[in-house]
Structure 1
Amino acid sequence: MTSDGPESLQSRIAVVTGASSGIGAAIARTLAGRGARVALLARRQDRLEEVAKEIAGAGGEALPVPADITSAGELADASERVREAFGPTDLLVNSAGTLLVETAEGARFEDWQRLIDINVNGVLRTVEAFLPDLLFSGAEGRPTDLVTISSVSAGLVNPLLTAYGMSKASISHMSANLRAELGPKGVRVTAVEPAVVRTELLEQAHHPLYDEYMRQLFAAGNALAAQDVADVVEFAVSRPPKVNLSRITVHATHQP
C-alpha cells in the first residue's frame, strides 16, 4: 500500500445512526467488513441485534446501542456506552432520517415538526453527543470523520418535498460549516447526497404523483441500492488523512 492509497479501517471506532435498516445498516456492515468496530444506533433493538448478529457472523464486531436521536439524554448515554466498550469514537455517520411527501397546502405542522426534529435536530444532537470524542481523536492525529447522509433534495425544487428538502439543505449546509470549523482540528466532514435509494424509507410516505414517479423509476431500474451509498461512505473515510471529500452527490447512472 502506498501513502496515497486507501487507509485501513482496522483500528477505527465507528458509530452509525439509523443502523437498524436501509442505508445505515449497509454502512455499518461495510465498515465492519473493513475492520472497524461499529456501534449500531437506532430505536429498534430487535433490528439492531439482527444486524449485529450478521456482522459477527461475517467476522466483524458490532455493538447494538438502542437510542432515539430525538433524545439528547439517550444520545449522551449512548456515547458513554460506546466509549466504555470501544474507546473514543473517531468515525460518526449520521444516517438516521425520515421522509415526508406532501404539498404545503393541507400539510399538518405537526408532521413537518416531527420531520425537522429527526432530520435536523436529531443530527445536531448526535453531533453534540459525539463531538468531544471526534475532537479528541483528531487532536491525537488519528483519521477522524463526521459523515452525514443528506440528499440531492438539498438542492432541488420539488413541491412534494418542501419540508424534506429543507431538512436536507439544512444538514448539507451544516456539514459545509462544520468542515470549515473542524477541519483545522483534524476532523474531516462529509455530506453524502444520494438520489433515490431503494429502502423501506420510501414506504413511509405516499402521494399519487410521487407513487407513480417511483413506480416508473423502479420499473426502469433507475434507483440506487443502499450498498451503493455504503460503498461511497467507505471510500470517503478510507482516503489518506490529508484528503477530505466534503460533498458527494450520488445518482443512478440512468436516473433522470
Structure 2
Amino acid sequence: MSYTNLSGRTAVVTGAASGIGEAIAVQLAAEGARVALLARRAERLHALVEKIRADGGEALAVAADVTDDASVDAARDLVHKTFGTVDLVVNNAGVMLPNPVADGRIDEWQRMLDTNVGGVLRVIRAFGADLVAAAGEGRAADLVDISSIGAHVPFPNYAVYGATKAAVTYLSQSLRGEFGPRDVRVTNIEPGLTQTELATHIDSTELSGQLDGMLDAIGSLTAAEVADVVAYATSRPRHVNLRQIMVLPTRQA
C-alpha cells in the first residue's frame, strides 16, 4: 500500500523555535508542506526558516505568544495573509517546571496552565475553522496535540506539569467527538524521555540531577524521532486516524 507525502499541505507548528517543535517543522517541510513556525523567539524562527528554505522547503516565521489572545489572533491573520488557510495544526508549545506542590509556586503553575492548556485552546480557536473547511473540501485535515507520558505516569514533583498534559490528552480525546464527524483527525502524541530544552527550565539542582540520572539509565528519544511520528500520522489516508500514540525509549517502562 502506498501513501502520499505532505505536498500541498499547509501546517502551523507552535513551539517551533527549538526541540520537538523545530524538528516537526523541519520534517513537515522536508515532506512538502508549507510550514508556519510559531514561537516567541523571533531570531530562532528566522534562522530556522532560512535553514528550511536552503533545503528547498517553504516556511514562515511568526513571532507569537500562545498565552496571549491578541498575539495568537495576529499570528492567525499573518498565516492566512501569507499562506491562506491551514489544514495541519501541531500544538507543541509547552513548559515543564517541576517542583513540590508544597512549595506553592503559583507563578509556575499559572505559566504551565496558560501555556500547556490555554495555549492549546487558543490555537485551536484560531485555526479550528480552517481544519473543518479543509475537511469539508475533501482534503486531509489534522489537529496534532503533543502531550506526554506524564499524562498517565506520575513522577514525583511533576504533579502540575503532569496534570496539564493529562488535560491535553483528555481534550484530544473529547475533541474527536466534535471534529471526527466533520472528517478532521485528532492525534494525541505522548512522548517519553526526549532530548529537548525542557530540562533547562528546571531550577532545582536535585530535580535536574534526577532527570539526568533517568536519561543516563534509560536513554532518550531525539526530537527528530518524535517528529517522524507526527509526519507518519498525518500522511495516512484521510479516513485513517492514529488517535493516540505513546512513543518511548525502549528501556522506559
Paired with 1:130 and 1:237, the residues of 2 have a C-alpha distance of 17
**1:238, 1:11 → 2: CA distance?**
11
Q: CA deviation at 1:11?
A: 0.3
**1:86, CA displacement in angstroms?**
1.2
- The match for 1:255 is 252
State the Cα deviation string for residues 148-200 of structure 1 (Å, max 9, x = none): 10000001122311110000000110000111110110110011000111111
By how many angstroms is 1:101 displaced? 0.7
Query: Matches of residues 1-256 of structure 1 in structure 2 within 5 Å?
Result: 2=1, 5-220=2-217, 222-256=219-253
Counterpart amino acid of residue 223 in structure 2: A
SS of 1:197's partner is coil
| Aligned residue identity for 2:224 | Q
Name structure 1 gaps, 5 residues minimum: none
- CA apart distance, 1:242: 1.0
Structure 1 length as normaliser, TM-score? 0.95
Aligned-partner Cα distance in 1 for 2:238–2:161:
33
Higher deviation after alignment, 212-221 or 6-15: 212-221
- Letter of the aligned partner of 1:180 in structure 2? G
Structure 1 residues 163 and 47: alpha-carbon distance in aligned structure 2, compared to 1, 3 A threshold: same
Q: TM-score, normalised by structure 2?
A: 0.96
229-238 or 151-160: which moved more?
151-160
Whole-Å separation in 2 of the counterparts to 1:72 and 1:145: 22
Q: SS at the partner of 1:191?
A: strand
Identity fraction in percent = 45
Q: In structure 2, the residue corresponding to 1:224 is in which secondary structure?
A: coil
How far did 1:210 drift? 2.9
Q: Secondary structure at the match of 2:89?
A: strand
Any conservation in 1 of the 2:140–2:238 contact (CA below 8 Å)? yes
| Pairs aligned (count) | 253
| Structure 2 gap segments, 5+ residues each | none
How far apart, CA to CA, are the structure 1 residues paired with 2:61 and 2:76?
12
Instruction: Please give the alpha-carbon distance, in whole angstroms, between the structure 2 residues aligned to 1:43 and 1:159.
Output: 30
Give the Cα–Cα distance (whole angstroms) in 2 for the partners of residues 188 and 40 of structure 1.
21
d(CA) in 2 for partners of 1:115 and 1:223?
Answer: 23
Secondary structure in structure 2 of the residue aligned to 1:49: helix
